[in-house]
Amino acid sequence: MSSIIKVNTIQDIDGNNIINESGNVITIGASGDTITVPAGATLSGDLNASNLTSGTVPSARITGAYTGITQVGTLTGLTTTGNINLGDSDVINLGASNDLQIFHSNSGSFIKDAGTSNLFIDTDGNAIELTSGNTAESMGRFVKDGAVELYHNNSKKFETAADGILVNGAANVDAGGEPSATGMIRLQANASQRQLRISPPSDSANGKIDYRGGNLTFQDDGTEVARFQDTTALMIGKSSLDYEGTAGIILRNDGLLHATRDGGNVTDFNRLSSDGEVVRFSKDGTTSGQINISGSRMNIGTGNTAIRFDSNSRLILPWNVTSNSATGVDNAIDLGASGGFGFKDLYLGGGVFLGGTGTANKLDDYEEGTWTGTISDGTNNATMGSNTGGYVKIGSLVVLTGYFTVTNLGSVSGNLRLTGLPFACGSANSNYTANGLGWGANLNITDDTSIGFQIDTNASHLNFTHWDNTSGITLLQASELTASGQFMMNLSYRTDA
């Protein structure tokens, strides 16, 4: 059974209104009164700022709309199941000094840490997500114990991982004023290429490191300058293993270094400051040869068997090479050897010193050839049938051979001579009698058919001689030679040539 008391006004003992209803407005208490709501009680309905503008609301539950409240003291233990509506630029202040502020203004919505500590956004759930379109589009996602994900137009572009970061698309480090597509440093990957692009600021030139198809290339303004060819070789100035046709360098993984250059020296080895080793050649770690320098001189060889090139003195010398010094050797190094180690030809414009270094040991000439001889009296020449001879010249020694026939003496008279010697007689010889043998046939002499030869100083002809039992060695006369006379010779003489 319930009881109902119907009154418009309830007053205290002093006649002050406690509850008064006038139309649709119910007034609790009077101005200056304190209204106490017990803890745990529920206020149901709308709590409006026009009805509550000051004082303290104790711990209580308020249901319904809570609107337009601008000052309620320090509000504690508030639980509401409806909306809290604040106007533009109205602020929810949290903290003793209003350190955390939540508000909306014409320029945007804000969660602001107005104090001096940190602003934490914390969760015990799986992730913190930044979305738009009522969670239809992701902008950022922070996964508990996992990745940080950043999105562009709902497409994930950046993600942290346990071993680093992942970038989907190009990663650019831009300089001021540079377009994003040609950033200072640009990491890019797609189905056909992976590249690191380096671009100087405010310049159309691009430096690129490009990886595709197993090849890593380095490019400058579109021109390839170096390449790692699969696992085979490093190439500079070449795009393929073209060893001869294109200038550049190939360094293969098996140790081969190949260099090609168009119109210039291919290598340049430069040692600074001190003399010594420039290039070393080794086999299994043991030095087998080297090139070193001493001043402007270069030494090439191994140990005590080497040669020195002296450009200042125009000399090639036998030498001893070590890594720190070089000294010459004398009469200790052979050039060639027996048993199939001989050189073929030696071309010399000067001489060879054999068995010593004095002028007497110098062999400065060796020559072989033919010469043409003519029977003459010094003015008139006979008609010759065979008139060709041969010669060998070794230093100043000339060795002559020849066979000569006469078909017609013509006007030849007096002393007979043989002209056309390949070299003149030496100036040190006076009426020199050549060493050798001669033979004559069809001669008008009765004593001897042996022929001798006499050469005058600086003369280029031979005088024929023979033995006369009365006069001894005499000059052969034209009258003693028939029209079919013949001569054969093998002799030697000295020349200054």
Q: Output the CA torsion sign for 312, 318, 323, 326.
A: negative
Structure token digits, residue 29:
């208490």
Give whichever of 32-36, 56-60, 348-352 has the largest mean pLDDT: 348-352
Q: Tell me, yes or no, whether 179 lies in a domain.
A: yes
Q: Indicate which CATH number applies to the domain containing 444.
A: 2.60.40
CB of 225 closer than 8 Å to CB of 218? yes
Give the total number of structural domains in the chain. Answer: 4
Q: Please state, in angstroms and rounded to a whole number, the distance separating the CA atoms of residues 273 and 78.
A: 88
Domain final residue pick, 226, 260, 294: 260
Q: Tell me, yes or no, whether 290 lies in a domain.
A: yes
Q: Please state, in angstroms and rounded to a whole number, the distance separating the CA atoms of residues 205 and 188.
A: 17
Asked if residue 489 and residue 445 are part of one domain, the reply reads yes
Of 21-35, 157-171, 236-250, 260-274, which gets the smallest average pLDDT? Answer: 21-35
Q: Tell me, yes or no, whether 197 lies in a domain.
A: yes
Asked if residue 185 and residue 163 are part of one domain, the reply reads no
Asked if residue 371 and residue 339 are part of one domain, the reply reads no
Domain final residue pick, 167, 196, 223: 167
Q: Output the CA torsion sign for 79, 81, 87, 88.
A: positive
Q: Tell me, yes or no, whether 249 lies in a domain.
A: yes
Segment 176-180 shows an average pLDDT of: 58
Domain of 305 in residue numbering reads as 276-344
Domain final residue pick, 260, 295, 325: 260
Q: Tell me, yes or no, whether 447 lies in a domain.
A: yes
- In what helix (H) or strand (E) does residue 277 lie, and over which residues does it extend? strand 276-283
Segment 97-119 shows an average pLDDT of: 90
Q: Please state, in angstroms and rounded to a whole number, the distance separating the CA atoms of residues 390 and 144.
A: 110
Q: Please state, in angstroms and rounded to a whole number, the distance separating the CA atoms of residues 263 and 123.
A: 72
Asked if residue 461 and residue 381 are part of one domain, the reply reads yes
Asked if residue 181 and residue 163 are part of one domain, the reply reads no
Asked if residue 371 and residue 294 are part of one domain, the reply reads no
Q: Tell me, yes or no, whether 33 lies in a domain.
A: no
Structure token digits, residue 23:
């139309």
Asked if residue 178 and residue 157 are part of one domain, the reply reads no
Q: Tell me, yes or no, whether 220 lies in a domain.
A: yes
Asked if residue 489 and residue 367 are part of one domain, the reply reads yes
Per-residue confidence at 455, pLDDT binned at 50, 70, 90?
confident
Asked if residue 442 and residue 393 are part of one domain, the reply reads yes
The closest of 55, 14, 10, 9 to 32, measured between CA atoms, is: 55
What are the distances in angstroms from CA 258 to CA 226, 233, 261? 14, 11, 10
Q: Tell me, yes or no, whether 283 lies in a domain.
A: yes
Sequence-ordered list of residues with C-beta below 8 angstroms from that of 347, at least 6 positions apart, any chain: none
pLDDT (tens digit, 9 = 90+) per residue, 183-202? 566 666 666 667 766 665 54
Asked if residue 184 and residue 163 are part of one domain, the reply reads no
- For the chain, how many residues are written? 497
